[in-house]
Structure 1
Amino acid sequence: MPRVSDRYRDARREHILAAARRAFLRHGFHATSMQDLFTEAQLSSGAVYRYFPGKEDIVLAIAEDNMREVANLIRTVTEERPGESIGTVLAAAVELITAKNQDSGLAGIGVQAWSESLSNPRIGMAFGQMLSTLRAELAEVISRHQKTTALPAEPSAESLAGVMIGVLVGHLLQLALLGTDAVADTPAALKALWPPLPDQS
């Protein structure tokens, strides 16, 4: 029997997650059953369970993928354009979030998942870990700015990273509740709030 390639497994996993996003957006997390997910993905229960033991695992996978994309984008922007301002980095992140929302309803799913994390200890713990990882990524970016630009050393990089997370979460919430038009100017506003700082050199 031929071995299943990593590319096939990745494609099948993404197919299931895309189906889950559509179902969650249409019916909500609680009203969507595993049978609904099988139907949406047009796969057997065994095919889905091979990748995800249950609905919680699908929610966590979606959240992890989304946070990983944001963290990767922030890392890419800061590595390829190390002199960019915090505002530019945040603007790039919210632009990614907006584009992802148009493709997959990221904002609505995110709000549903946050709500679930308040009453589901497993999801709450996983979300806390993911947010801590993202905060550490952002703190590293800010720390580099503090060492190489005129960005003040106080408050701490960790505290400033918490503010940046607040901006990203607030952007998601507004996307979910108010729509894309309400946040169309957010990238420009972030660049205005955090313009480039003069080099210390």
Structure 2
Amino acid sequence: MPRVSEAHLAARRRQIIDAARACFSRNGFHATSMQDVISEAGLSVGAFYRYFRSKEELISAIAEDVIGMIGEILDQVRTDEPVPPLAEAMSRVLRAVEPQLGPDGVFPMALQVWAESLRNPQLAEFVRRVYGTVRHHFDDLARRQIAAGHLPPGADPHAVGTVLFSLIPGYALQRVLLGEPDVDTYIAGLHTLLTTR
């Protein structure tokens, strides 16, 4: 029997994750069964369970996708040379996150992951770990801002990173719950806060 390529395995895994996202977006985690996802993916039960054994594994894979996307954005911003001023760096992060706030983006799924983590200790630990990693990226961003002279030399990078991290879900929650503000308004407010002395 010919060996299945890594590319084929990765494509099949992506097919399942995309099917799960579609089902979870339509019906939520609790109302979606594994059979719903299997049907959406168009796979046999055996083929499906080769990749995922439980709904929790699917949720974790989706959460990893969300975190991976945010991590890539932050990696680009925090390694820029020369180091851009903080307001500009955060503006870039927000503009990159903006397309992920609609119904087909990753943020509505992130909300479901957060809610599910309140009742699922295994997922809660996963969420703590991966969001801790994201917050660490913001600590690094703050550290570089301090080194570049964009923030006071005595500033605590962890304290600053913690606040910067909260700006992203704060913006996203307002957009999802209230339908506003638009990204330009939020960034204008952010520029005022970060550049007023």
Instruction: Answer whether TM exceeds 0.5 for this pair.
Output: yes
Q: Say how many residue pairs are matched.
A: 196
Task: Give distance in 1, aligned partners of 2:20 and 2:43.
Answer: 12
Question: What is the TM-score when the length of structure 1 is the normalising length?
Answer: 0.86
Alpha-carbon spacing, 1:11–1:157, altered in 2? closer, same or farther (3 Å): same
Q: Which residue of 2 aligns with 1:133?
A: 133
Task: Give distance in 2, aligned partners of 1:178 and 1:112.
Answer: 17
Task: Give distance in 2, aligned partners of 1:10 and 1:189.
Answer: 42
Give ranges in structure 2 of 5+ residues lacking alignment: none
* 8 Å Cα contact 1:38/1:48 also seen in 2: yes
Aligned AA for 1:158? H
Task: Give distance in 2, aligned partners of 1:193 and 1:39.
Answer: 49
Segments of 4+ moved more than 4 angstroms: none
Task: Give distance in 2, aligned partners of 1:64 and 1:79.
Answer: 22
* 8 Å Cα contact 1:98/1:175 also seen in 2: no
* 8 Å Cα contact 1:86/1:194 also seen in 2: yes
Task: Give distance in 2, aligned partners of 1:22 and 1:13.
Answer: 14
Higher relative CO (Cα under 8 Å, sequence separation at least 6) belongs to: 1
Question: What is the TM-score when the length of structure 2 is the normalising length?
Answer: 0.88
Q: Which residue of 1 aligns with 2:77?
A: 77
Q: Which residue of 2 aligns with 1:40?
A: 40
Q: Which residue of 2 aligns with 1:51?
A: 51
* 8 Å Cα contact 1:88/1:190 also seen in 2: no
Task: Give distance in 1, aligned partners of 2:174 and 2:48.
Answer: 32
The RMSD of aligned alpha carbons is 2.2
Alpha-carbon spacing, 1:47–1:191, altered in 2? closer, same or farther (3 Å): farther
Aligned AA for 1:144? R
Q: Does 1:31 align with 2:31?
A: yes
